[in-house]
A and B are shown apart, each in its own frame.
Chain A
Amino acid sequence: MIYRETGQFKTDYAADQQIFPIRQDRVGIGILLLLAFIVVPLAAGNYWFNAILIPFLIFALAALGLNILTGYAGQLSLGSAAFMAVGAYAAYNFQVRIEGMPVLVSFILAGLTAAGVGILFGLPSLRIKGFYLAVATLAAQFFIVWCLTKFPYLSNNSASGVISVPNVEILGFTFDTPQSRYLLVLTIVSLLALAAKNMVRSTTGRAWMAVRDMDVAAEVIGIRLMHTKLLAFAVSSFYCGVAGALYAFCYLGSVEPDGFSLDLSFKILFMIIVGGVGSILGSFLGAAFILLVPIFLDIALPWLSALFHLPFDNATVSHIQLMVFGALIMFFLIVEPHGLARLWQIGKEKLRLWPFPH
């Protein structure tokens, strides 16, 4: 009843092809964007911006990138953090080395650099797939982080490869408050998410899904495997690269190569598993979930242990965190392989039928 589509007729092609064909979705997204762009900046405090909202958006973007590669094109990658690192360092170099370089342009160039590196490490996917490819992407992970540590040129000759980025400044406006940085990140992420949403329902996206579902058959019906796979790697790395640039410029301010470790790659992988493999919405849900679980545990565990008079220390929290993460991944893969996004779909189905169960 709440979610009823009856009476919403599509009378022209434009209406048939819009991103959200159902009015409720359009309204919902509109409200969400309004909330995100207007209410949240007014209501949230600095802690919320710095510790939750900005990282959430950045990780969602990275998860989106991985989701394009893994969820849509079916190529498992364990190196997303490395591509983020490429983005972060590339953006930094463009900023530092080219006088008067606009920040947004350097973000885009950083994404393109990451895309180039992504294509390079995606090349093996033409000959190998599945586990072999997953292991091969580890090569990217280790090699890139090593490179960033060992070539002082890449970090502008800073010792141990730590870079401290300058303040973001666009058209004379300096983004120095958490609020303004949040708005910048939100804008970029919204635009890229929109682009991704459109991409996956275009010819490109359908080609990706065909390759994912059965690559031999896709080749037989005339999809160029090499082109499609490498494009997926490029686009995915572009997203990760931009996420990395934002991570450095709008979230942390100074980053080191070791921050982009395998653990971060796994975290991003977990986001898409929990959120939903092959779903744009899922990337956001997963990022929120994976980000909030540790915060929740940090609050809940001391309280619980006090309740049961158990001994308690910080090491235990980190162990429990690992266990919870691991258990969650297995739980989702077993019970709901399509992740939180699928739950939302089920919810919509229920709302369609509400108040009648059938």
Chain B
Amino acid sequence: MQFFLEVLIGGLLSGIMYSLVALGFVLIFKASGVLNFAQGAMVFFAALSLVGCMEKGAPFWLAFILAFLIMTLLGIATEKFVLRKMVNQPPIALFMATIGLSFFIEGLAPMLWGNAVRPLDIGIVDEPIPWILDHWNMVISKFDLFASGLALALVTLLALFFQYTRVGRALRAVADDHQAALSIGIPLQHIWALVWAVAGFVALVAGMLWGARNGVQFALTFTALKALPVLILGGFTSVPGAIVGGLIIGATEKLAEIYIPPLMADIFGGNFGGIEGWFPYVMALLFLLVRPEGLFGEKHIDRV
């Protein structure tokens, strides 16, 4: 039981990290209807820029701001050179363009900052909290707790922003219908640039946390692959969905990784580790068969 709880909590906490990346997807999907496959590459680029600026001698806060500026520029450039020219094309073409974008960024980032694996120190150590260890004998990392706190704050902020500000309202309008939004005077291009900047910011926070945990390296691009099942589960358009989806995926993935391989080994013999890689996908897939729009997604009705 103790062990189960520990795995569960560890899973939930790492799920929050997935949510962070998923959040970037949701933001862009909400505001432009584009599933941005390059989000993982953006996480990588953001983390690399942060570390790169720090290596050049900038203090953490300055490096953070610089990295944010770089991400904003990247977002604006994407809007200007790619998305703007692809207005009116089918969403799936836009999706393929973002796959291209992710390759481009994956090449560009190490060209600018070098491709060595680098540690990132944000001042919080990845060690168990002594109080919990003493009282409940459970290993819960300080870092995980900090990361989840940050993620929750970010999500709350974004949810409020979407719900209650003028810009947030404009964003939702754009997501509903580009043309209608344009015709009532919402500046589409500004909105898109803004959304990409915000997505860049989320990528930066995600990259900072992931990078501080695992080192800043190319593997950060795979965070996108972790976030996709989260999206499916939570629905592409829902900020809370990203969180709930992340928690579910994180928890089940870790539990499955612990409990299923021994079962399979009993039946087939051999080592069946590493089901983390596909389990979330298969789970999300099965879920889709029951509820195609995800947990919090909008119900889509086909009309002829």
Q: Do A and B bind each other?
A: yes
Chain A contact residues, CB within 8 Å of chain B: 76, 123-124, 127-128, 130-132, 134-136, 138-139, 142-143, 146, 149-152, 216-217, 220, 262, 266, 269-270, 273, 315-316, 318-330, 333-334, 337
Whether the Cβ atoms of A337 and B107 lie closer than 8 Å is no
Whether the Cβ atoms of B107 and A320 lie closer than 8 Å is yes
Q: Which of B82, B95, B229, B302 contacts A131 (CB 8 A)?
A: B95
Q: Bound complex: CA of A139 vs CA of B286, how far in Å?
A: 11
Q: Which residue of B lies closest to A262 (CB)?
A: B225
A-B pairs with beta carbons under 8 Å apart, 9 shown: A143-B278, A143-B281, A143-B282, A146-B274, A216-B302, A266-B99, A318-B107, A322-B107, A325-B103
A333 / chain B contacts, CB cutoff of 8 Å:
86, 89, 93, 96-97, 100
Q: Say yes or no for B236: interface residue by CB 8 A criterion.
A: yes
Q: Which of A124, A130, A315, A323 contacts B108 (CB 8 A)?
A: A323
Whether the Cβ atoms of B104 and A139 lie closer than 8 Å is no
Whether the Cβ atoms of A142 and B104 lie closer than 8 Å is no
Whether the Cβ atoms of B103 and A150 lie closer than 8 Å is no
Q: Which residue of B lies closest to A142 (CB)?
A: B278
Whether the Cβ atoms of B236 and A330 lie closer than 8 Å is no
Whether the Cβ atoms of A329 and B111 lie closer than 8 Å is no
Q: Which residue of B lies closest to A333 (CB)?
A: B97
A318 / chain B contacts, CB cutoff of 8 Å:
107
Q: Bound complex: CA of A348 vs CA of B230, how far in Å?
A: 48
Q: A124-B288, A266-B99, A334-B85 are in contact. Are A132 and B232 (CB under 8 A)?
A: yes
Min CB–CB distance A142 → chain B (angstroms): 4
A321 / chain B contacts, CB cutoff of 8 Å:
107
Min CB–CB distance A315 → chain B (angstroms): 6
B289 / chain A contacts, CB cutoff of 8 Å:
123-124, 127
Q: Which residue of B lies closest to A134 (CB)?
A: B95
B102 / chain A contacts, CB cutoff of 8 Å:
326
Q: Bound complex: CA of A212 vs CA of B86, how far in Å?
A: 20
Whether the Cβ atoms of B304 and A329 lie closer than 8 Å is no
Q: Which residue of A lies closest to B228 (CB)?
A: A135
Q: Say yes or no for B285: interface residue by CB 8 A criterion.
A: yes
Q: Report which residue of B110, B225, B278, B284 has the largest number of chain A beta carbons within 10 angstroms of its beta carbon.
A: B278
Q: A135-B228, A143-B278, A146-B275 are in contact. Are A329 and B288 (CB under 8 A)?
A: no
Q: Which residue of B lies closest to A131 (CB)?
A: B35
Q: Say yes or no for B130: interface residue by CB 8 A criterion.
A: no
